[in-house]
Amino acid sequence: MVESHRPAGLILLAPAKLNLTLEVLGKRQDGYHEVRSVLQTIDLWDSLSMEDTHQGIDFHCSLPHLENRDNLVFRAVENMQASQAGRGVSIRLHKGIPEASGLGGGSSDAAAALIGLARLWETNLGMGDLARLAAQLSADAPFFLSEGTALAEGLGERITPVPSLPPHWAVVLMPHVQAPHPKTARLYASLSPEHYTSGEHTTRLVAALKGGVRSDLLDLLFNVFEGVAFKVYPGLAESWQRFERAGAPRVHLAGSGPALFTLTQNRETAAAISENLKGDGLEVYLARTRN
């Protein structure tokens, strides 16, 4: 989380994330799914401008259709207000992360709002308190209270930092495909027991990061939803193929998608892939991993 101060408030940058691995271990008795994942922040940002006010919530977004009480930023403020009676805030959210892409923009915004409010209102809430508030908003939100590389377990809310991925460049392609609503629930519903794993892909990547292995890290990336995404997102296969033709060495689904990404340690290679995709008139982003 990048933060700057101004006389009347704060400006925070909320990063996007990539799932370097995403495994589903099985379905729990409560109907949710147990997951294991390695998460990585990248420098693709939303930004939040925050000012303390006497009361109420004044919330505006660069995408007007997101200005509602269901927005995770609005809900984060309501959660924080429960212990800070009488406090108010004005928030301006600018979206730079593509919406509903699988890159975690909404969860990152919520985490940034919690951090900003804790500082703006000078609360005595620690990171454990903020993590509990974040987990009430989304499974990914606790991860965004810090940056870099981390292991996520449970529903995704149990976060353990791991050694950082060596610096890489990420090329992110946002396909313009039709997505069901709610898309993540549809993806989980499309999984069958044969898609479940024991967490071995995540275990291997974490071991490689801890051991300082660099040469074959990109061979260890995995996303269970790649087994069902082409049925859930009509037209995704064409975007995948265009990405490969643009020079991407390996293409992966970003989280629940439909965004796609590739990683390379060479900036020139990433820039060339990005330019090839832009030349095809596609929505593409060039970012770097954050430690």
| Secondary structure of residue 21 in the 3-state scheme | strand
Which is the catalytic residue, given 17, 27, 30, 95? 17
User: d(Cα 287, Cα 289) in Å, to the nearest integer?
Assistant: 7
Residue type, 239: S
| Secondary structure of residue 238 in the 3-state scheme | helix
| Secondary structure of residue 291 in the 3-state scheme | coil
User: d(Cα 44, Cα 56) in Å, to the nearest integer?
Assistant: 30
Which is the catalytic residue, given 27, 30, 52, 140? 140
Concerning whether 17 is annotated as a catalytic residue, the answer is yes
Concerning whether 278 is annotated as a catalytic residue, the answer is no
Q: What is the 3-state secondary structure (H, E, C) of 68-95?
A: CCCCHHHHHHHHHHCCCCCCEEEEEEEC
CB 144 within 8 A of CB 1: yes
Contacts of 48 by beta carbon, 8 Å cutoff, 6+ apart: 10, 11, 12, 14, 73, 91, 92, 93, 94, 109, 112, 113, 116
* Half-sphere exposure for 128 (CA within 13 Å, toward CB): 0
Burial class (CB in 10 A: 0-12, 13-18, 19+), 29: exposed
Burial class (CB in 10 A: 0-12, 13-18, 19+), 177: middle
Q: Which residues does the annotation mark as catalytic? A: 17, 140
